Amino acid sequence: MCGIVGYTGPRQAYPIVLKGLKRLEYRGYDSSGVALLNGGLHVYKKKGKVAELEDTLIGKNMEGHIGIGHTRWATHGEPNDRNAHPHLSQSGEIAIIHNGIIENYAQLKQDLLAKGYTFKSDTDTEVLLNFIDDIRINNECPLEEAVRIALRRVVGAYCILVIHKDDPETIIAARKGSPLVIGIGKGEHFLASDASPIIEYTKEVVYVNDYEIAIVRPDELILKNLGNEKQTPFITKLDMDLTAIEKGGYDHFMLKEIFEQPTTIYDCLRGRLDAETGNITMSGIQKYAEQIMNANRIMIVACGTSWHAGLVAEYIIEELCRIPVEVEYASEFRYRNPIINKGDVIIAISQSGETADTLVAIEKAKEQGAIILGIVNAVGSSIARISHAGAYTHAGPEIGVASTKAFTAQLAVLTMTALMLGQQKGTLDRDKFLLLCKELAAIPEKAEIVLKLDSQIKALAEKYKDAADALFLGRGYNFPVALEGALKLKEISYIHAEGYPAAEMKHGPIALVTDQLPVVFVATKDSYHEKVVSNMQEIKARKGKIIAVITEGDTVTPTLADDVIIIPAAHEIVAPMLSVITLQLFSYYVGVAKGYDVDKPRNLAKSVTVE
């Protein structure tokens, strides 16, 4: 959630840190700040956008070759200047930035108050900082040692960067449950929550593991565990271009990412799916194919949009592989003491690969003998590393907070997985397997056709932008698409929207229907189509405003709907990758029409790395 940036080296740190904070704005935040060593330790921070912080620093001496910066998403303490990071210790000698939550901060704070410490903020971070400083002072030990001792006592999640006023070269960093990547330059190092602030300067990075401390100087990177044992840094080469994290002429990242989907779906399939020969190559999944095919059940854990992808996957895997599937909210799964048997298969879906609830859920499941498969976008992420196997979605960086291209890429990977396993297990006959391979391979080209509906969908958004509520309905494979459409509209336009299985409408939601309520039906041609048409008639009889996403050639639905969006025909198993694009565009244009910042919706963060 929060964004972290650090630099040590021969360049001026402030411009690098500031640009890095701007790169991380997509993660969601409410305040920002920087700390620099420049003849002393100087901290500048402010509630609001990074640009507002930048404005307050015009004319100030911002020189210095070491610096740390932070964008904060409030947890402990309201968003304001004093709760913004970085924080200074009571001694004034060390500064810290922190992503995560220290769960036992209240007890630590009481102990420090009893020693005479005072606090300038309401944050758990300032408590952690003074706890570190108290250890350093009383034990007369180096900062590195004080950090190590403190982190063995704290409970919770953290990624921290700490600097000392008398050490103009060293950043002490550590992580547990919150991401940290270190970029390796020539005589310089860059630190950040993800690779986006680093890619401009180097493609060689080290992903720091949980319970590791990094001592970072311009010409030196030392990794140690909390037992003070040196670890060997594993250097990874970033497969990312700077253009991937820039808007490229689009008004918003969200629109760019919606329009990237023909390419990202193709990239996801490329090298894995040969539709002509019916060959699917997924080495990460294949290694555990026997265990998956013989599993008594598969459990999918995810949050938000990834959970919706998991719901579609439930339908697909059960249909093609005949294996029972349960889809769980990771935030519930981790706390409800679920029954997990050795050999159960857990599929963890996450765009960032750092989602805190999903990460903890699979850690617990792994301890109980489950096989963990990770479906993630971010290479080197925590979920990717903790999983036994899995597959990357290859969607590229997703900067817009509302997930779009990650969702369709997840569906592409999950569909390929089900096809491969169903074919090997013998639950999917050869003819249907080949048909579905070709249907899947055709999605990128059909997605291009859907995107040509852009201007039509924009006009629809103008028509319905003043709605107070909206209902999204679908059945079968289209039910999770309805849920995703409702979520997008809520995220981007702040219109209250609900997604339901169309048949459940009569069990309550139909009471909401008036001539002012837009009801969006995901009504593409499938085995449920006649039933969906019946549900549509029930809405029309009550004068609801019907928007229908339909398949070309459908002559029945247009007679019932007020507005239709016609997409290319596709098999019902792969059609969600097309129909969802129309709902993404609709939500985007409603948000724009209402004047909102669709890339950074209020109160939301891109990567939820704390509970």
For 89-112, b/e burial (b = at least 16 CB within 10 A) is bbeebbbbbbbbbbeebeebbeeb
> What Rg, from alpha-carbon coordinates, does the chain have?
25
The secondary structure of residue 556, as a DSSP letter, is S
Structural tokens at position 347:
């599929």
d(CA 21, CA 71) in angstroms, rounded, equals: 7
Q: For residues 88 and 410, what is the distance between their CA atoms, to the nearest angstrom?
A: 42
Whether 606 is a known active-site residue: answer yes
SS3 259: helix
Tokens of 562: 């007020």
Q: Please tell me the distance from the alpha carbon of residue 319 to that of residue 14, in angstroms, as a whole number.
A: 55
Q: Identify whether the C-beta of residue 35 lies closer than 8 Å to the C-beta of residue 43.
A: yes
Strands (E), 324-379: 325-329, 345-350, 371-376
Catalytic site residue from 2, 159, 321, 437: 2
CA 68, chain centre distance (Å)? 24
Token pair 């694009």: residue: 581
Is the Cβ–Cβ distance between 358 and 328 less than 8 Å? Answer: no
At residue 423's C-alpha, the angle toward residues 421 and 425, to 5°, is 65
Say how far apart CA 42 and CA 382 lie, in whole Å.
33
Strands (E), 252-315: 273-274, 279-280, 298-302
User: What are the beta bridge partners of residue 375?
Assistant: 349, 391
For strands 41-47 and 31-37, give the pairing: antiparallel
**Crossing angle of helices 405-425/576-593, nearest 10°?**
170
In the residue annotation, 321 being an active-site residue is answered as no
Mind giving me the DSSP string for 379-416? TT-HHHHHSSEEEE-------SSS-SHHHHHHHHHHHH
DSSP assignment string, 505-544? GGGTGGGG--TT-EEEEE--SSTTHHHHHHHHHHHHHTT-
Unique residue bearing structure tokens 């020693």: 115
CB 580 within 8 A of CB 325: no
One-letter amino acid for residue 211 of the chain: Y
> DSSP letters of 23-53?
HTGGG--SEEEEEEESSSEEEEEEES-HHHH
Peptide bond into 324 cis (omega under 30): no
The residue type found at 240 is M
| Residues recognised as catalytic | 2, 606
